[in-house]
Amino acid sequence: MQKVTLTINGVRREVLANPDMVLIDLLRKNLHLKGTKQSCDRKGQCGACTVIVNGKAVLSCITKVVKLEGAEVISVEGLGTPLNPHLIQEAFVLSGAIQCGYCTPGMIMAAKGILDKDPDPSEATIKKALAHNLCRCTGYKKIIEAVQLAGKFIRKETTPEEVRSALGPAMVGVSHVRPTSMIKACGVAEFGADIELPSNTLEVAVVRSTEYHANIKSVDTSVAEKMPGVAGVVRASDIKGTNRIRQVHPDQPVLCEDRVRILGDPIVIVAADTKEQADAAAAAVRVEYEALPAVFEPEEALAPGAPVIHAHAPDNVCCKQPIIKGDARKALAEATAVVEAEFSTQTNHQAPLEPEVSVAYFEGEGEAEELVVVGRSINIHFHLNQLKEALGYPKMRYREPFSGGQFGIKTWITSEAIAAAAAIHFKRPIRYVPSMEESILICNKRHAYKIKTKLAADAEGHMTAMFCDWLMNKGAYTLNGPVLLGRSIMMLQGSYHIPNLEVMGRSVYTNNAYTGSARGAGPPQTTFATECAVDMLAERMNIDPLEFRRMNSLKPGQTKSTGMAVKEWSFVEVCDAIKPAYEKAKKAAQEFNAKGGHLKRGVGIAAHSFGVGGAGDSAKLSIELDPDDGITIYAAVADPGEGNDAMLVQIAAHRLGLPLDKVRLYTRDTDKTVLMGPAAGSRMTFMAGNTLLNAIESLEAAAKEAGGRTYEALTKAGKPTRFEGFHKNQAPAGLDPKTGQGNAQVSECHNIQMAEVEVDTKTGATRVLKMTVAVDGGTIINPHAFEGQLEGGMDQGVGYALREEYQLGKQKDYVSFKFPTVRDGFEVEIIPLQTPRYNGPLGATGVGEMTMVSTAPAVINAIYNACGARVFNLPATPAKVKAALPKSQDATAAN
């Protein structure tokens, strides 16, 4: 041990440090300064742990304390507080640069590192300073803008007060600050690993399968149970409930009994006084396996004699759904032009920055005692019921802390059942903090699709028929597979009128990564195939791609692929909105390419009409009029970064004429809230917004009878002060299992995206220069939140298009996953339209996933436009692009 004297946030400290102690542990464990975050397993890859040491931004996860003698350290807590924030923190809040907030403290400290040296940095300088700081939510654009605004504050060109006053008094259509942005900026928002627990808390580790498919012959925990600090182990036999997590089919075990179906399946929980002790004991557990044949691709799993993954599906088909609409075969035979191709998309990880942390502890005494489970759920009531069933423990409550992004992962339980099972077994508080490597392994992923498509048009260029056959790689467990297959079916036609369809979608079990929701949840894969085929058909017909899409737009009264008629459809207006930018971009690319050389530029477009608010979907919440005549909204509305908190507050303030600070939120806890449904499918603005307005209508009706909308008036008149809100989409749910006809989503967000790319024909490397999106999401509640969702979706979409791919057991960190950094950023232009939706809250609908759906095909179409390389299999790596180059281009590049 070595004594080190240093100053931390202005306070002189003397600490005893061993040679391996790193600064993040001193801050978080010793001093309980939790604003500094850990994400990348201390590999120096993510920047979430950034602090200032002697005036320089450093990564605290790899900075040894013994080397800090005499150093001056500033963490985010030492920069400012919510009541007295630093100008940089103000700038991040006012720029809309904060979504989930997990990366924010590190970003802000990195920004301080550069602004202290240069208060007027160039964009290139900012990107260099933030190159080691990752963000999955924002797409980096608003972070760069925040650093630029902070520079203006520091140079005294403007002030935070001037920026705030410019917002004006309106409640809707204004970028009011999100209610939680400042506490995230100051590092005091509590995420799962930040929760302080009592001294008798146990830390847990999980023994996971090292085989892809095997019978468990024996499990020996005898050595592990005798190791220092170990409290004991939990096996499947110790779980009193079903030991199965069930959403559609109860096939995923909390702990495996006698068989594993995937690398990383959980077998034993080990609990100890410290995480290090738990990890060491878990490594000492010996599992003997009998290896079984494994299959990793749907075609293998469907082949005769393939190993059966689950007894309930002897053919390994998880689910299937056709569409039969009109007579596609006849229309294909009679068509003037038909294009046919096979496409594939990769398995993809959603890649949130926060590890899959869960906490469980008992609260209350006697009959009032209940188990509190703390996790990152976006559907807390549903997950609570899943946990009760799986663990056989009915007295349970679920609480969601702040959540570091999720992008679909948390439609499913990842780690909560482990923590809860251990708490029930040991009757002690439990903290489960898996590493990022383990978190990546245990999360559900985006499905890989293999898609065969035919698309036909008549002599005038109107699309007449589609044939489509696809296989989804379901992986080892069902999760919400049938739901995602249905979403792909419901939105298959995208923005277009295609009167004749013959489609078969099948989801197939394999021993690969189990798959579920990921941003877009179904449509990104099928839209990639459809939008590439649309471009190919437009070329075959010699019609401009934008005009071809416009002329094939669905119109009010026409039907989607499921036969559901639409009442409003503004896609033509979206096409018209992007046309000037499209013509300008085409001209610029042509002029660049006319100069010759191996660098080629291209322009590609892709479109989609994303369905929001499923048929038969419902939601509930309640509001309460408070004694000061403000209101409290009780709603199980998760907000892992989308801006749902701001949406609720601004709608309520607008409708009731209240200042923002008189609208309070009680969310993310099953106590005092009711079933809202998931923060998924871009449904929260539509569903929660409509439900909130329903509750407000009840309040207003009571106030009218009481002669005033005050707490005093209602109580004097004997009226209630708490009102329930309910909303249900009236279209009956469900598709015909034989034809796929039925009701789909009841609202849509329309967009068309344009990618401008540069392709190096020598290497095949593609660089996205700019993304432009024209989008109609109805009334915009908060422009910063609106823009942030579109920008973040495009950033993820470009990664999906060009580099990201998850291979089970191989991608263990951000480098191997090829996580996009600020240096991969591109220019963004957003062209918003606001056609009020007849059934949306204040005319709004959801936009959170829209740009994720259309980005990849836009990029792929732009690559083709640039150099003639048509890539059919995502991601479009340099090798794939170079292999797809026409021989003439390849020969030119070689010269």
Q: Kindly report, residue by residue over 203-212, the tens digit of the pLDDT.
A: 999 999 999 9
* Catalytic entry in 145, 211, 756, 849: 849
Separation between Cα atoms, residue 469 and residue 744, nearest integer Å: 20
Separation between Cα atoms, residue 431 and residue 366, nearest integer Å: 23
Q: How many CA atoms, within 13 angstroms, populate the side-chain half-sphere of residue 390?
A: 27
Angle of CA points 642, 787, 635, to nearest 5°? 25
Are 893 and 597 in contact by the 8 Å Cβ rule? The answer is no
Separation between Cα atoms, residue 528 and residue 802, nearest integer Å: 13
Query: Confidence class of residue 893 from pLDDT cuts 50, 70 and 90?
Result: low
Separation between Cα atoms, residue 859 and residue 768, nearest integer Å: 8
Residue 294, both tokens: 């494994």
Q: Identify the pLDDT of residue 733.
A: 83
Tell me the percentage of the chain whose pLDDT exceeds 70.
99
Residue 860 CB coordination number (10 Å): 30
Query: For 109-127, what is the mean pLDDT?
Result: 98
Are 692 and 633 in contact by the 8 Å Cβ rule? The answer is yes
- 3-state SS, 57-107, equals EEECCCCEHHHCCCCEEECHHHCCECCECCHHHHHHHHCCCCCCCCCHHHH
Sequence-distant (≥ 6) Cβ neighbours of residue 229 within 8 angstroms: 272, 273, 274, 277, 278
Q: How many CA atoms, within 13 angstroms, populate the side-chain half-sphere of residue 574?
A: 31
Q: Identify the pLDDT of residue 887.
A: 83
Query: Confidence class of residue 890 from pLDDT cuts 50, 70 and 90?
Result: low
Q: Identify the pLDDT of residue 731.
A: 81
**666 DSSP 8-state letter:** E
**Sign of torsion, CA 253 256 259 263?**
positive
Separation between Cα atoms, residue 34 and residue 357, nearest integer Å: 15
Q: How far is CA 595 from the centre of its chain?
A: 41
Q: Kindly report, residue by residue over 463-510, the tens digit of the pLDDT.
A: 999 999 999 999 999 999 999 999 999 999 999 999 999 999 999 999
Q: Kindly report, residue by residue over 130-162, the tens digit of the pLDDT.
A: 999 999 999 999 999 999 999 999 999 999 999
Q: 753, 769, 766: which is closest to 864 by C-alpha?
A: 766
Are 384 and 480 in contact by the 8 Å Cβ rule? The answer is no
Residue 407 CB coordination number (10 Å): 28
Q: 69, 60, 56: which is closest to 30 by C-alpha?
A: 60
| Residue at token pair 């509750």 | 695
Reduced to 3 states, what is the DSSP secondary structure of residue 351?
coil
Residue 211, both tokens: 């085989």
> Does residue 894 have a pLDDT over 70?
no
Read off the amino acid at residue 572: V
Query: For 769-783, what is the mean pLDDT?
Result: 98
Going from the C-alpha of 770 to that of each of 404, 583, 585, 825, 852, the distances in angstroms are 27, 14, 10, 9, 15
Separation between Cα atoms, residue 611 and residue 609, nearest integer Å: 6
Query: For 622-629, what is the mean pLDDT?
Result: 98
Query: For 230-249, what is the mean pLDDT?
Result: 96
> Does residue 569 have a pLDDT over 80?
yes
Are 157 and 369 in contact by the 8 Å Cβ rule? The answer is no
Which domains are present in the chain? 1-189 (1.10.150.120), 202-293+360-436 (3.90.1170.50), 445-613+738-894 (3.30.365.10), 618-728 (3.30.365.10)
Active site residue 416: no
Are 413 and 374 in contact by the 8 Å Cβ rule? The answer is no
Helix ranges, 594-629 (H): none
The DSSP H or E segment spanning 333 is: helix 328-334
Query: Confidence class of residue 764 from pLDDT cuts 50, 70 and 90?
Result: very high
Q: Kindly report, residue by residue over 669-688, the tens digit of the pLDDT.
A: 999 999 999 999 999 999 99
Q: At how many degrees (to 10) do helices 416-426 and 380-391 cross?
A: 50
- Length of the chain as a residue count: 895
> Does residue 845 have a pLDDT over 60?
yes
Query: Confidence class of residue 729 from pLDDT cuts 50, 70 and 90?
Result: very high
The answer to which of 41-45, 730-734, 736-740 has the lowest mean pLDDT is 730-734
Backbone phi and psi for residue 338, each to the nearest 5 degrees, phi listed first: -135, 135
Are 233 and 461 in contact by the 8 Å Cβ rule? The answer is no
Residue 197 CB coordination number (10 Å): 16
Query: For 240-246, what is the mean pLDDT?
Result: 96
Separation between Cα atoms, residue 365 and residue 452, nearest integer Å: 60
Going from the C-alpha of 603 to that of each of 580, 592, 701, the distances in angstroms are 13, 12, 54
Query: Mean pLDDT across the chain, nearest whole number?
Result: 97
Q: Kindly report, residue by residue over 698-727, the tens digit of the pLDDT.
A: 999 999 999 999 999 999 999 999 999 999
This prediction's pTM: 0.97
Q: How many CA atoms, within 13 angstroms, populate the side-chain half-sphere of residue 125?
A: 15
Query: Confidence class of residue 889 from pLDDT cuts 50, 70 and 90?
Result: low
Cα distance between the two ends of the chain: 63
Tell me the percentage of the chain whose pLDDT exceeds 90.
98
> Does residue 793 have a pLDDT over 60?
yes
Q: Kindly report, residue by residue over 642-652, the tens digit of the pLDDT.
A: 999 999 999 99
Sequence-distant (≥ 6) Cβ neighbours of residue 584 within 8 angstroms: none
Query: Confidence class of residue 251 from pLDDT cuts 50, 70 and 90?
Result: very high
Q: Kindly report, residue by residue over 347-400, the tens digit of the pLDDT.
A: 999 999 999 999 999 999 999 999 999 999 999 999 999 999 999 999 999 999
Are 784 and 327 in contact by the 8 Å Cβ rule? The answer is no
**Sign of torsion, CA 731 732 736 737?**
positive
Query: Confidence class of residue 732 from pLDDT cuts 50, 70 and 90?
Result: confident
Residue 888 CB coordination number (10 Å): 9
Q: Identify the pLDDT of residue 262.
A: 98
Residue 6, both tokens: 């240093």
